[in-house]
Structure 1
Amino acid sequence: QVHSQGRARSSLRFPGQNSINHPEVLNFRIQLESKELIIHLERNEGLIASSFTETHYLQDGTDISLSRNHTGHCYYHGHVQGYSGSTASLSTCSSLRGLITFENNTFILEPMTNETNAYKLFPVENLKGTWGPCGSHHSTSALAAENRLPPPSQTWARRHKRETLKMTKYVELVIVADNREFQRQGKDLEKVKQRLIEIANHVDKFYRPLNIRIVLVGVEVWNDIDKCSISQDPFTSLHEFLDWRKMKLLPRKSHDNAQLISGVYFQGTTIGMAPIMSMCTAEQSGGIVMDHSDSPLGAAVTLAHELGHNFGMNHDTLERGCGCSVAADKGGCIMNPSTGFPFPMVFSSCSKKDLEISLEKGVGMCLFNLPEVKQSFGGQKCGNGYVEQGEECDCGEPEECLNLCCNATTCTLKPDAVCAHGLCCEDCQLKPAGTACRDSSNSCDLPEFCTGASPHCPANVYLHDGHACQGVDGYCYNGICQTHEQQCVTLWGPGRWLPPVGAEQWGWGARSVSTSITPAVDAKCGKIQCQGGASRPVIGTNAVSIETNIPLQEGGRILCRGTHVYLGDDLPDPGLVLAGTKCADGKVCLNRRCQNTSVFGVHECVMQCHQRGVCNNRKNCHCEAHWAPPFCDKFGFGGSTDSGPIRRAGEWGQHVPGSGGNPPVGNPVHPH
């Protein structure tokens, strides 16, 4: 038993993180004042991917990466029996510890110091820690303004929103602990690794209601020295970490997002920072988190907040009027600008809306691929909902299985069934090759089609960086079509437009982020200038209007309107032109400079497609409807080696979106 605010003994034995003896299901009782609570836990299968590695360093700087071969881990999710809406997120690695929430109250369960099998349960308000805000103190974002604007195609947008939100997103996450964190945890390598996984377990619990799963693909501990400069300046530390991630971590470890857990106390009151709308990008998909609490829960809440910024979520400021299901005195919602007592663990209506709009714009293009779990660190088990090695299907426990194609007891297909799961499985049979299974989400995305050989929709692909957007005057960058016009709407609302040609010579972005004068060729990559729109910026009370009357060569004057918006150091100023925005024919803004799209290598990639297709982000040709990959030089069914064929046999009317190519003369060759 475990008693609140006191000592108690437990008959439970915890064999350690590396043991195989952690049960799949665990029940235990807690005596809380006059209540006896029964906690039901199930091991969080799928938390840790098959590619999961643990990395640390030798004294000479050599990195050591280990792959776990365990059949079970020690991280659990669950609930309090008999209490609707209750949650539990605990670990049993070396002892029982974690959080339990019921009746709008959150409690921390921890082992007693210097006691064997003795535990304490106390309100989260009593937890020791350092509290403060995210690096952004005032954030009413560009996305909040966009919420009021109808999309170009209402019907398409509604359909795509339903499909995108319905699909589970998987964030393949790496968590890194810096050297100061290693020291603060007693230089105990296993303790630090365990703490990082426990943080991920909590974050996964927070994001599940949004249909987002956190899949840990790696933890890394800088036990010798920091691999980049980490200081008390959070802004500098963030950019140092993001640069290290891009240059060092990404080439050796495939992942979607990386977060640094730091033992350094950042200056001021900042406890975390992350760029907004940066998920899946090589440059900025990550953040930094100060480990500000004795419990891993503190860092988990901050990490969830910074990850929210990566997803495009902004702070829940009063002026946004966000709906939160938890009262402020009970913790409020995760995207509150400042973290305090108790911990927030849910997302607000504003966060959900921000997420919807980000996904519609193409943010998070890498998240729709199911990570490999056939050799899951979580262990194999028929009934856990994951199709693992040796299983034909898995629809959960027999009492909860609703799949008509799968035998829940044996995890095998029923007679005459060919498949049981996947977007390309219907009525227990494979859909024909060429059946659309994932529509393009924006002008830079490509659709995917069933292959006829697999029940699963192919992994998401999109247009190569530097490709012309489909139907929009711009260029693709990280799967999104950035335009000046779109950014002017974001800043000033409907009714805005760009200054006439020639106005840029008088100061369209006349200064970059630094104080030096920007060359004329780079003018469109600094502060964006707009005309018209609302009387003041629509993105919040902290936006400052910068207006300039510009004389035109042909006579007359125009009013150019720029803005400066303070969102804090961790969020970019939306008054600056976004990277990837078209600045001239064949050129885009990169690092505040107008650069040729040739830097992306898109022209070389397109050349191999024989003018009958486009190039995707994997540098493969996506062919028109009547030409075959990989080079669109032979008759076929279109598509790419990544996306599947774009039409079925006998169909002649489908084309690559925006291609407009003509079908070849003669009959197509059927693939074998």
Structure 2
Amino acid sequence: QNSFLQIIYPEKIQANTSGNSENFQVYNEQVSYIIPISEKPYTVHLKQRFFLADNFMVYLYNQGSMNSYSSDIRTQCYYQGYIEGYLNSVVALSTCSGLRGILQFENVSYGIEPLESAVEFQHLLYKLRNENEFPFLTENNQDTEQNPMDYTVFINEKPESTVSDLIPLYLEMHIVVDKVLYDFLGSDSMIVTNKVIEIIGLVNSMFAQFKITVVLSSLELWSDKNKIATVGEADELLHRFLEWKKSYLTLRPHDIAYLFIYRDYPDYVGATFPGKMCVTHYSSGIALYPKEITLEAFSTIVTQMLGLSLGISYDDPKKCQCSAATCIMNPKAMQSSGVKTFSSCSLSDFKNFISNMGARCLQNKPQMQKTLVSICGNGRVEGNEVCDCGTEEQCGTDSCCNPRTCMLQPGANCDTGSCCNNCQFKAAGAECRPVGHPECDISEACNGSSAICPTDITIHNGHKCKDGKAFCFDGGCHDLDARCESIFGKGSKNAPFACYEEIHSQNDRFGNCGKQGKSYKFCPWRNLICGRLICTYPSQTPFLQEDASVIYAFVRDVVCITLHHRSKNEDPMEIKSGSICDDGRICVNRECVESRILATQSHTCSQKCNGHGVCTSTLECHCSSGFRPPDCQRSARDSSNSPGEQGLIMEKTFVKARKKQWLLGIYLALPVLTVATITAISWKRLKKRLTKQQESQSSESESSTHRTDSRSRSESSSGTDTVRSKSESSAQTNTTSSN
């Protein structure tokens, strides 16, 4: 791969602290070297970069048993910087033992490493070539076929390396290296560990533009044998790795786990779940390491995959621009040497992901060694800096941050963040992240004392929504009938099972259960309604949609329809997890599984809310209006789980349901009350009439001329008793009716 090789002697430019080029026990915050390339000296300026967790652990296997140890890797000797006089240049080096890493100019890259057993400070310098053809990544559950495109890249005159309105984020990775790659990289734990760290260092140099630090929290080396089967396509491996991860990575802190696998000539070089970075059961990726590839090219692959997980799509080079010769999300970036940056399209995608998903798992900063000195003006908040908007030109005149001191301007409370407006915190209760679905998500509001929007929280997976037609899943409620109507218009519904059988039996771009290498994954009969959405089409006019192919099928007197979008990274016709696929079953990751598992978990979790709230994704109660957390037992005039107006629409749904029950009770009781009232009035009138009759009879008896016939008196008495008996019977009847 290398036609250019040189033995060179780098020269360290002495700093104020003691130390020389051969003594690396003292690590300066900033350091510079003169590195000769083709006998021309280039000055490299470096700054310390921390991306290894303080508790960084290496896990190693020996005869089947796992041993963990705190690595001897020194976290202070990793640097990033630039080459003096070259605006678009990046340098990523370790100085742990000599200089080891990469120097990137605009369109050419050089690798540097110390010569072993060299008496003097000798290093090997070589040119990196990344000219091999590699296929695109596999975006799991997505159709990644792409039409040939002209990969001309437009270059902005003004670089976009600093994005002032983004906040620092921290992505913690656990990396697993399979047995074959472990052997290919040197079959030595220290050598392999150093190479993985070098890869992550290069990944960090690219993500620095978005203020993201990729933190290597732990490393696992399958040094004796693989723990899962590594045959098959990338997306198959991803699902296999995901299952393994659930059982074996519960105690190792990470935001996302990756498996690095060696393949001589793979069809695809990776698989991941786009836009699922902070979704625990999707936070995984597979990266295949081809035989003829440089660490630079592989780091580009890893960066692209992490980008996909962060909601960043591949670039259309005709529309997307960046400040480098090659944009990172260009599908052919891995074949290019030199500096790579994210494009304007990537920035837009990333901001959209942060706005909608919140990237809640990336907001907690892991414990790392902090730099003692900060550089004001580099666009990164470091050390004692409160803010850093970049250079004076980049900050502008209306910045909340003083570009000279990296402190807030007088009177300013904040600089960036979704809860910062005109240098002031937004008022408590100001919405900073809207509700995704009113029954399955909770809006987040500013707390009035922070510029950062609170962690994104959703309703617990398995909670019923849309009158029981679907289940909440990752903040969404996916009703297939509603989706069909939104795509194809009024009257369109989820198609009958026969339509799914007909279209999915072809196992093509219109009917499948995802990609499997270059082909499509066949849907088993049980999972047919978890593949791609098929709808009924009631209209008499053909359906037209730009950039989409349409297929119709006439099955059992029903017109079925579905689409295939040629250029969209995310398939709009993919059936989402949480959709109902059969009685008592829901789709989860394209499989039709029993819903009772999720529903039971949600119900069990919500029981602790005492009927006055629902369980959230953090397993805490979100209380209905008028009740107070944590158990929603205590009443409160105005209650919410966090400062600000939470306004959970589900609360309104519950109140509405209770109102319906109350009205139903009134409707049922009203006829009974009416009958009872009429009976009571009738009884009162009857009693009044009887009383008058008795009085009249008594008067007549008294005025009678000595009627002493016992028989007559007996009849009078008998008559009165008879009337009373009837009256008592009537009263008893009335009582029964009123009951």
Post-superposition shift, 1:365?
A: 4.1
| Aligned-partner residue type, residue 47 of structure 2 | E
Aligned match of 1:305: 304
After superposition, the Cα gap between the structure-2 partners of 1:515 and 1:417, relative to the gap in structure 1 and judged at 3 Å, is: closer
**Higher relative CO (CA 8 A, sep ≥ 6), structure 1 or 2?**
1
1:128-166: CA deviations, max 9, x gaps?
x8652234499996999xxxxxxxxxxxxxxxxxx9973
Match runs of 1:456-605 below 5 Å = 458-468=454-464, 474-484=470-480, 495=488, 499-500=492-493, 503-507=496-500, 513=513, 518=525, 524-531=529-536, 546-552=551-557, 557-561=558-562, 575-583=573-581, 588-590=586-588, 591-593=590-592, 595-596=594-595, 598-599=597-598, 601-605=601-605
Counterparts of 1:278 and 1:354, CA distance in 2: 14
Match of 1:87 among 85, 90, 98: 90
1:307-340: CA deviations, max 9, x gaps?
233234444467xx4424378xx55543415732
Post-superposition shift, 1:529?
A: 0.4
2:54 is equivalent to residue 55 of structure 1? no
| Aligned-partner residue type, residue 187 of structure 2 | K
Counterparts of 2:388 and 2:182, CA distance in 1: 39
After superposition, the Cα gap between the structure-2 partners of 1:257 and 1:165, relative to the gap in structure 1 and judged at 3 Å, is: farther
Counterparts of 1:617 and 1:343, CA distance in 2: 43
Post-superposition shift, 1:33?
A: 4.4
Counterparts of 1:110 and 1:217, CA distance in 2: 25
| Aligned-partner residue type, residue 296 of structure 2 | L
Moved more, 351-360 or 57-66: 351-360
Counterparts of 2:467 and 2:422, CA distance in 1: 37
1:229-278: CA deviations, max 9, x gaps?
223754443332222222211x111322112222x225544333333333
Match runs of 1:244-283 below 5 Å = 244-249=244-249, 251-262=250-261, 264-283=262-281
Aligned match of 1:447: 443
Aligned match of 2:366: 372
Aligned match of 2:203: 203
1:6-31: CA deviations, max 9, x gaps?
22213456779xx7522211111233
Aligned match of 2:334: 339
1:423-460: CA deviations, max 9, x gaps?
7799999887x444732352244334456787865433
- Structure 1 SS opposite 2:303: helix
Post-superposition shift, 1:168?
A: 4.1
Q: Give the % identical residues.
A: 23
Counterparts of 1:239 and 1:502, CA distance in 2: 29
Unaligned runs of 5+ in 1: 145-162, 648-653, 664-672
Give TM-score scaled by structure 2 length: 0.67
| Aligned-partner residue type, residue 190 of structure 1 | M
CA contact (8 A) 1:613 1:656 kept: no
| Aligned-partner residue type, residue 618 of structure 2 | R
Post-superposition shift, 1:421?
A: 9.4
CA contact (8 A) 1:277 1:311 kept: yes
Count of aligned pairs between the two proteins: 598
Counterparts of 1:397 and 1:510, CA distance in 2: 53
After superposition, the Cα gap between the structure-2 partners of 1:294 and 1:587, relative to the gap in structure 1 and judged at 3 Å, is: closer
Counterparts of 1:367 and 1:534, CA distance in 2: 45
Aligned match of 2:135: 133
2:315 is equivalent to residue 323 of structure 1? no
The structure richer in helix per residue is 2
Match runs of 1:32-43 below 5 Å = 32-33=37-38, 35-43=40-48
Aligned match of 1:659: 651
Match runs of 1:607-622 below 5 Å = 607-622=607-622
Post-superposition shift, 1:619?
A: 0.8
Counterparts of 2:579 and 2:27, CA distance in 1: 52
Counterparts of 1:361 and 1:587, CA distance in 2: 28
CA contact (8 A) 2:481 2:494 kept: no
| Aligned-partner residue type, residue 301 of structure 1 | T
Moved more, 508-517 or 631-640: 508-517
Give TM-score scaled by structure 1 length: 0.73
Which of 1 and 2 has greater Rg?
A: 2
Unaligned runs of 5+ in 2: 13-19, 147-162, 506-511, 514-520, 657-739
Aligned match of 1:153: none
Counterparts of 1:322 and 1:524, CA distance in 2: 36
2:113 is equivalent to residue 110 of structure 1? yes
Post-superposition shift, 1:64?
A: 0.9
Aligned match of 2:716: none
After superposition, the Cα gap between the structure-2 partners of 1:344 and 1:480, relative to the gap in structure 1 and judged at 3 Å, is: farther
Moved more, 423-432 or 614-623: 423-432
After superposition, the Cα gap between the structure-2 partners of 1:573 and 1:608, relative to the gap in structure 1 and judged at 3 Å, is: same
After superposition, the Cα gap between the structure-2 partners of 1:331 and 1:406, relative to the gap in structure 1 and judged at 3 Å, is: closer
Aligned match of 1:183: 183
CA contact (8 A) 2:272 2:285 kept: yes
Aligned match of 1:157: none
After superposition, the Cα gap between the structure-2 partners of 1:531 and 1:266, relative to the gap in structure 1 and judged at 3 Å, is: farther
Aligned match of 1:149: none
- Structure 1 SS opposite 2:603: helix
1:148-198: CA deviations, max 9, x gaps?
xxxxxxxxxxxxxxx997344432222222222222232221221122122
CA contact (8 A) 1:108 1:124 kept: yes
| Aligned-partner residue type, residue 74 of structure 1 | C
1:541-594: CA deviations, max 9, x gaps?
xx6x54311335xxxx42333659899xxx997654232234479863124215
CA contact (8 A) 1:15 1:22 kept: no
Counterparts of 1:498 and 1:75, CA distance in 2: 61
CA contact (8 A) 1:173 1:214 kept: yes
Aligned match of 1:156: none
- Structure 2 SS opposite 1:245: helix
1:81-104: CA deviations, max 9, x gaps?
233233222222322132333344
Aligned match of 1:231: 231
After superposition, the Cα gap between the structure-2 partners of 1:206 and 1:103, relative to the gap in structure 1 and judged at 3 Å, is: closer
| Aligned-partner residue type, residue 577 of structure 2 | A
Post-superposition shift, 1:344?
A: 7.1
Aligned match of 1:158: none
After superposition, the Cα gap between the structure-2 partners of 1:54 and 1:658, relative to the gap in structure 1 and judged at 3 Å, is: same
| Aligned-partner residue type, residue 464 of structure 1 | H
1:515-555: CA deviations, max 9, x gaps?
68635xx6532332035698577666xx6x54311335xxx
What RMSD over aligned residues (CA atoms) do the two structures have, in Å?
4.9
Aligned match of 2:33: 28
Counterparts of 1:430 and 1:338, CA distance in 2: 40
CA contact (8 A) 1:57 1:63 kept: yes
